[in-house]
Structure 1
Amino acid sequence: MKCLLTVALCVAMTSVVSAQVVQTSGQQNIQSSTRANSSQIDNRVASCLILANLGEIEIAKFAEENLDDGDVKKFAKTLAEDHKKLNKELERFAPQAASTKLSSDSSSWDRDQQRSQQAGTNITPGFDNPSASQQTAAQNPTDKKLFQIEKEATQNCVAMTKEELQETSGKEMEQAFLGCQVATHIQMVAHLKAAENAVSPELKQVVADAKEKVQSHLDKAKKLMKEQKNS
């Protein structure tokens, strides 16, 4: 039980950080409407969501590799596939985050920007011909710093969660993983609800679709937990 709560708390805290960034963006949009750029708001929200999805994919893949065959293992595989699809939908709103990987080396964002500068171009990773707003968002120092902070938080949480899961096995690992999923998906639904009213109509539709999918994941995780408890 202690392991389950530790795993759930760790990942939930990372989602809270993401939600705070989205809420801040929303407040800036309301309080400084004459100065705020909707594409920059979209970019920041999409970047946070991409990182959250990457963290979810990493944990799901880890669980898929380490769980015994069964419904929970299948659920882990579905999670990884669905969150990859969600990121594909988000990439056009945050092209500089599209090639990001959760690793200990320097951000792919930094490497790609350095290469483009050396080549004398302003190409944003993930797009062959980025718009002016996409270039501006990718080069914004504040957005870049927030992205780096969120990326590091996600990396730390993934590593800590894996460590906790590695201390379990069998049914205990399944319960810990499902507890983690309940926590992260509650936070993600809250995150998506907060984002809906802070973004452009185009991104709003993507967020709405993502919210529906994430809610289905939450319902499935809760159902599997109940089945595990009664088995």
Structure 2
Amino acid sequence: MSKIRFTIATLAVTSFCGLADAQTTQVLPAQTSPPPVQPVAPAQQPLPQQNGSIVDQADRYESRRVVTDSKQQGPTVKEAILQKLQKANEAEIELAKLAIQKSDNEDVKKLAQTIVQDHEACNEKLQKMTGHDKNSGQGQHAQQDRTTSNQQAGRLSTSDQSPTVPKELCRIAEQACENSLKMTKDMLSKYKGQDFNMAFLGQQCVAHTMMLAELKAIESSGPQELQQMAQEASQKVEQHLEKSKQLAKKLEDDRKNKNSDRS
């Protein structure tokens, strides 16, 4: 900036001096010699670039625009699936912990403990795939950082960007999961003893059937990088489902036997 100011000042002084010479020449008596030649100001040099080339400035502008746009967009399909699975796992963990507290059946408690351990382990894997752990909030910015980095390098076209899911749809899915959890807890809180055990096992059969169906869909039609995860999770979910069915049948048979003995 000091060089620019110096150049402008030099041009101004030179022009002023030339103007002063011209005025002086008009005052002096006429001479036979040719009039003095006006000094020619040096050609103005182009201003130096302060922030890199024009191309660099355009790239930076485009990067800022992409970051702004990405903040207004929802998560990618992969991120939306991972978030949904995490919410479902969290619900199963909370309900299983409730069963550990309220159930009077050791088999039901043992199944609930297994559900807590397996779903917590699954959520840890999901959190690693989203790029953050429980105590950090970097996962939600991971896609923005990747997009910005690629855009700055000038190697990402619009067609290469991952499709996104509308934020409104994600909020509805999240709210639906929270509503389902609350209604299920309210329902289970009304039961005690054998009635609670049967209600919990019935709910687990329904929940794990739905989760297994979703994991199977991801395994066959979801993003390729999630298919292996879905296959591994399906095995655990299927084990929980079968154990819940077996235990529910056992408790029902025990109830029938007790009723028959009384009669």
Is TM more than 0.5 here?
A: yes
Q: Give the conservation status (yes or no) of the 8 Å contact 2:76–2:164.
A: no
Q: Which has the larger radius of gyration?
A: 2
Letter in 1 for 2:76: Q
1:37-52 equivalences under 5 Å are: 40-52=76-88
Shift of 1:141: 8.0
Matched, 1:144 2:167: yes
Does the C-alpha gap of structure 1 residues 156 and 216 become closer, same or farther in structure 2, counting only changes over 3 Å? same
Instruction: Give the equivalent residue in structure 1 for 2:236.
Output: 213
Corresponding pairs, count: 168
Query: 2:187 maps to what in 1?
Result: 164
Correspondence list, 1:80-95, <5 A: 80-95=116-131
Of structures 1 and 2, the one scoring higher in RCO (CA 8 A, sep 6+) is 1
- Distance in 2 (CA, whole Å) between partners of 1:135 and 1:174 is 53
User: Contact 1:41–1:198 at 8 Å: present in 2 too?
Assistant: no
Is the CA contact 1:185–1:217 (under 8 Å) kept in the aligned structure 2? yes
Q: Tell me whether 1:222 sits opposite 2:256 in the alignment.
A: no
Residue 64 in structure 1 maps to residue 92 in structure 2: no
Runs of 4+ that moved beyond 4 A? 133-136, 140-143
Task: Please say if residues 87 and 177 of structure 2, whose CA atoms lie closer than 8 Å, have aligned partners that are also in contact.
Answer: yes
Indicate if the aligned counterparts of 1:64 and 1:77 stay in contact, CA closer than 8 A: yes
Partner Cα distance (1:68, 1:227) in 2: 15
CA distance in 2, matches of 1:145, 1:134: 24
Q: 2:196 aligns with which of 148, 173, 178?
A: 173
Q: Check whether the contact 1:196–1:207 (CA below 8 A) recurs between aligned residues.
A: yes
Q: Quote the residue 2:139 is aligned against.
A: 124
Structure 1 unmatched ranges of 5 or more: 1-38, 101-107, 113-122
**Pair 200,141 (structure 1): closer, same or farther in 2 beyond 3 Å:** closer
Of residues 193, 201, 204, the one that matches 2:216 is 193
Give the aligned residue type for 1:72. V
How far off is 1:126 after superposition?
9.4
Scaled by the length of structure 2, what TM-score is found? 0.56
Q: Which has the larger share of helix?
A: 1
In structure 1, distance between residues paired with 2:234 and 2:90: 16
Matches of 1:134 and 1:212 in 2, distance apart?
37
CA distance in 2, matches of 1:126, 1:228: 48
* Structure-2 change in CA distance of 1:141 and 1:44 (3 Å): closer
CA RMSD of aligned residues (A): 3.1
